[in-house]
Amino acid sequence: MSSSRVGLLALIVWVTAACPAAAHPLQQQPGGWSDDVEPAPVATDVPVRPPVFPDWPLLVWDDFSNPARAWCPRYPQEIVPLEPYEAGELRVASERVGTDAALMYFSVHQFSDFRVDVDVRVVGSDTEVLYGLALRDGGGYETATNLYEWLIRPDGSYAISVQDGPPDSAVTLQRGGPSPCIRTGPDALNHLTVVAQGPRLDFYANGCYATSVTNSRLAEGDIGVWAVRAETAGPLDVRFDNFRVYSLEELNAVTFGTPAQSLASKAELHERGETLGGHPYPAQSTTQFPAGTKRLYVYLPFAGMTSERTYRRTLLIDDQVVLDWGPYVWGMEVFESRQMGFGIQSIAYEMTRGGDLPLGHWEVRAFIDDVPVARTFFSVGAATPAPTPEPLQIGSVPAPPRPALPPAETSFAQAAELYGQGRYTEALPYCAQAMAMAPNSAFWMTECAKVYDAAGKPVWAQMLQQMAGNLP
């Protein structure tokens, strides 16, 4: 390998715009919500519940005991988030945030029809802290995004909105409350459930039906959790736990689209209106760059990525390996570079000291779990014909399997044995697994409430007893 090529050590930039900082569409103003449309009033009494919860199998389970299973952050630059994983919870927290500055984390999956359940706890008694769920999020570039949002206030009132584009595209679909379904007060703990089937979304708190909306603007996307302050700046600390998604659908396989090369950066492509799925992507791919080129970009569309995947990328020039990047766990990029499970990865190649890029025939290969998923060829000032490429079968990586949790009866039997031995805290994970596998069982909730109470978690016990009473 020549010394000039050894100098190609700077992979200066490689990020996607799949998980941007997005302005929050709902703004609490004196006198009430600012809405694009005036929604119909919602009764504060518990409405008639819709059909019973769908009996769908568990698709995703995260008790936040493994920080390597990274969630994708999204927040404005002025927010400095605290460490998101603490004591088996996802902590959405910052020492100080301004008003209308949302801190979000996304699960790095794609869902269409689903049921999502998660426990949420607001630390302390700050009445300025709001929290909720983001649904069918499609990512976006800079401030453009598309998602449904469920926003809950400390007094138990709520708002449901949809955004499909820039922040000013947000529309409030419904608001209501205070709802008797939602637990309030210091350190309030709530179990949130949303069932999405086609254009209909049903919202529950603690097993109690709150409301429904029907809207067909968004058909699929990621699920996220988030928190925001209402009217005054200050600290933010909201904890999420026992995240689970149920669906008849499987997760997506990992696939990569057609790579493209360009001299233009993401910002330049966006300014020119050259995008793919809302992300910067060149309208025409360059296959021959002139001698003297100092920087070029490779764009790799991808979908179906999850945090646990391993990623590797190789650069060859005239069939010689110049850079071999990885393998490493994709979760590192999820958190550090905000790479969601779908988007376009941009890779900038330039010399460490600003010199010209090496002449020759270039090839970039991408691997997921050691499976080649993308390959692209181009040249820089090459005067000779390109060599015959090595045969390489480009494919996709199968979707991850469903969680390998034991049946509810097995987990609860283990919890009951530990409970009988006075090992209450050790029994809690088994109760969580049992309820994850049987989310519609009032029996498991009632029995596990006893375990939580014995373990010194009376608030959790009260919530489970409330949920059990709300189930049919």
What residue ranges of the chain are covered by domains with CATH 2.60.40.1930?
3-17+252-380
Give yes or no for residue 7 having a pLDDT over 50.
no
Q: What pLDDT is attached to residue 25?
A: 29
Q: What pLDDT is attached to residue 283?
A: 96
Q: What class has domain 408-470?
A: mainly alpha
What residue ranges of the chain are covered by domains with CATH 1.25.40.10?
408-470
Q: What pLDDT is attached to residue 16?
A: 38
Q: What class has domain 35-246?
A: mainly beta
Give yes or no for residue 30 having a pLDDT over 70.
no
Q: What pLDDT is attached to residue 48?
A: 53
Q: Over the stretch 293-307, which tens digit does the pLDDT of each residue have? A: 999 999 999 999 999
Q: Over the stretch 413-459, which tens digit does the pLDDT of each residue have? A: 999 999 999 999 999 999 999 999 999 999 999 999 999 999 999 99
Q: Over the stretch 110-129, which tens digit does the pLDDT of each residue have? A: 999 999 999 999 998 888 89
- What number does CATH give the domain 3-17+252-380? 2.60.40.1930
Q: Over the stretch 393-403, which tens digit does the pLDDT of each residue have? A: 999 999 999 99
Specify the pTM. Answer: 0.86
Close Cβ partners of 287 (under 8 Å, ≥ 6 residues apart): 261, 377, 378, 379
